[in-house]
A and B are shown apart, each in its own frame.
Chain A
Amino acid sequence: MEEIKAKTKDINYYILFENYTHGLALEKLLKEEGLRARIAPTPRSIQGKLTCGMSLLVLEEDIEAVRECIDRHQAKYYSIVEMECQINPNRNVFC
């Protein structure tokens, strides 16, 4: 339980894209470089007018390396949004 609580205070980064082609390209690139990023549905609160549903979820400890990789390859993305971890397995609210 304590571990889960600590986790909710973590900072996550969501990399947003104009389309999923850019998203999948960056995901592949990060994987090739051994960097961690997970495909995630974009939280609606940060999606704005973007219609692309996928984002890449990056942990705080990995974000600098990911940013560096993006710059080095001039990889396409829309924005990087920092937010407190939204994931809570004990919420028990489904859809």
Chain B
Amino acid sequence: MSDYVKMWEDLGMDLETHDALCQVLPTAFGDVYLSQENRPEGMGFWDFVVSEIHGIRPSELIEAQKNGQKVFGTFCVYVPDEVVIAANGIVTGLCGGSQFWVPGGEKVLPKNTCPLIKASVGARLDRTCPFFRIADIYVGENTCDGKKKAYEILAEDVPMHIMDVPQMKRPEDYDRWAHEIELFAGVVEEQTGNKVTPEKLAEAIKIVNNKRKALKRVYDARKAAKLPISGKDALLMMQIAFFDDPVRCAEMCNKLADELEQRIKDGVSVFPEGTKRIMVTGTPLAIPNWKLHHIIETSGAAVVCEEMCTGTRYFENLVDETQTTLEGQYKALADRYMKNNCACFTPNPGRIDDILRLAKEYNVDGIIDVNLKFCSIYDTEGFFVERALKEAGIPVLGIETDYTDSDAEQLKTRVEAFVEMLG
């Protein structure tokens, strides 16, 4: 059994400040998660991971590093995990979802930067998150202006590779992204000292596809009329998927999906009949950002789907497994990742199509379009999202929020009014 305090010290963490987070997390988790009744047994795994959130996975990563493996920290669902896994590297998500880290980011970033970026930069520079200390290299991407510039600041403190995500979806942009993945493979090979071979990449593509299929099974269970799992629990599973070993993640998600499918057969639901079904769309909800889901699910509604990076964008669409050359595999990876409809693309009609399709698949009563404060691309795209939903006759509520608690009561009033309006 490792001593976490010793590990945190060895990582050069600021223990005193970190302890402040250790104080609030168990209370918030209890209020949000342990207050729920009749949760699936399978959620015990994720409760355990949260209980040991800065201990158990970090110690696994450090052990792996001792055995020569390299850890790549990422911030975006556009970075292809497959390439890292093919070179025996490990990927860990790094997005910050807590207000705790925001002031640290504000020391170097403008106040009008989105909280996700501020939290991520703060977690690194204030030395209060083990994952940010452990990663050997960060992999950024230019999906927004705030991130681009923040990565330049981070690059003064940690090795950084930036992927140039195209901003349009013309045929030449697909080719450019395939080339960008090939360049990334070169960086990964250099970092790990291992070659990315077609055989290894094929294996990695299967591993990540299996993880996507497992996550999708859990999401599919949320399409049932009687909901076998809360939105909060599904969100937690999704948030931790960014940090866990991909094979174990698939195994645990499949186990949970088995239980949920049995619950559907048995007619077991965690919500009373008639509970309004809400889909949330917009910017990601990085761990431990549980605010909006908690507010929705204590306001007489249930969250049935997230059209977000911490949601359907992470697992929809599989990579073609039939390619046998690196060239073909990079192209297959590019094709799959380019199907993600991020607001950084112009134009981005695919996202509207996704939202309308998901609204039908999950049989939603209403949609909450949520944007993190100062995320101008998602906020602006909200114009098209809300117009399309109105045209389709789907009630929509637009919300802009951050990680603070100060707007919680106000949000609750608005969400309650919206749910009541759904009839």
Residues of A within 8 Å of B159, CB to CB, are none
Q: Is the CB of B56 within 8 A of A20?
A: yes
Q: How far is the CA of A61 from the CA of B215 in the complex (A)?
A: 36
Segment of B105-113, B245-253, B290-298, B326-334 in the binding face = B290-298
Q: How far is the CA of A75 from the CA of B27 in the complex (A)?
A: 27
Q: How far is the CA of A52 from the CA of B3 in the complex (A)?
A: 8
10 closest Cβ pairs, A-B complex: A54-B51, A19-B1, A41-B26, A89-B35, A92-B408, A95-B28, A41-B51, A95-B24, A44-B23, A39-B47
Q: Which of B32-51 contact A (CB under 8 A)?
A: 32, 34-35, 44, 47-48, 50-51
By DSSP majority rule, is chain A's interface helix, strand, loop, or mixed? Answer: loop
Q: 4 additional contacts, CB 8 Å, given A43-B26, A89-B294? A: A39-B48, A40-B34, A42-B51, A51-B4
A72 on the B face (CB < 8 A): no
What count of chain B residues pass the 8 Å CB interface test?
Answer: 44
Q: Which of B1-32 contact A (CB under 8 A)?
A: 1, 3-5, 19, 21-32
Residues of A within 8 Å of B51, CB to CB, are 20, 39-42, 53-55
Name the contact of A87 in the complex, choosing from B3, B34, B100, B294 (C-beta under 8 A).
Answer: B34
B163 on the A face (CB < 8 A): no
20 A-B pairs in the complex with CB atoms less than 8 angstroms apart:
A20-B51, A38-B34, A39-B44, A40-B29, A40-B34, A41-B47, A41-B50, A51-B3, A51-B4, A53-B54, A54-B48, A54-B51, A87-B31, A89-B294, A89-B298, A92-B405, A93-B31, A93-B408, A94-B99, A95-B98
Q: Is the CB of A20 within 8 A of B48?
A: yes
By DSSP majority rule, is chain B's interface helix, strand, loop, or mixed? Answer: helix
Q: How far is the CA of A20 from the CA of B26 in the complex (A)?
A: 16
Residues of B within 8 A of A (CB): 1, 3-5, 19, 21-32, 34-35, 44, 47-48, 50-56, 98-100, 288-291, 294-295, 298, 403, 405, 408-409, 412
Residues of B within 8 Å of A52, CB to CB, are 1, 52
A24 on the B face (CB < 8 A): yes
Residues of A within 8 Å of B53, CB to CB, are 41, 53
In the complex with contacts A43-B27, A55-B51, A95-B44 CB distance below 8 A: no
Residues of B within 8 Å of A93, CB to CB, are 24, 27-28, 31, 405, 408
Q: Is the CB of B44 within 8 A of A27?
A: yes
Q: Which of A29-83 contact B (CB under 8 A)?
A: 38-44, 51-55, 57
Chain A, Cβ-Cβ closest to B7: A51
CB distance from A33 to the nearest CB of B (A): 15
Residues of B within 8 Å of A55, CB to CB, are 51
Q: How far is the CA of A19 from the CA of B403 in the complex (A)?
A: 32
Q: How far is the CA of A94 from the CA of B295 in the complex (A)?
A: 11
Residues of A within 8 Å of B19, CB to CB, are 44
Chain B, Cβ-Cβ closest to A89: B35
Chain B, Cβ-Cβ closest to A37: B44
In the complex with contacts A88-B31, A92-B412, A44-B5 CB distance below 8 A: no
Q: How far is the CA of A95 from the CA of B24 in the complex (A)?
A: 6
Q: Is the CB of B291 within 8 A of A94?
A: yes
Q: Is the CB of B21 within 8 A of A95?
A: yes
Q: How far is the CA of A40 from the CA of B29 in the complex (A)?
A: 8
In the complex with contacts A95-B28, A95-B100, A20-B409 CB distance below 8 A: no
Q: How far is the CA of A40 from the CA of B30 in the complex (A)?
A: 8
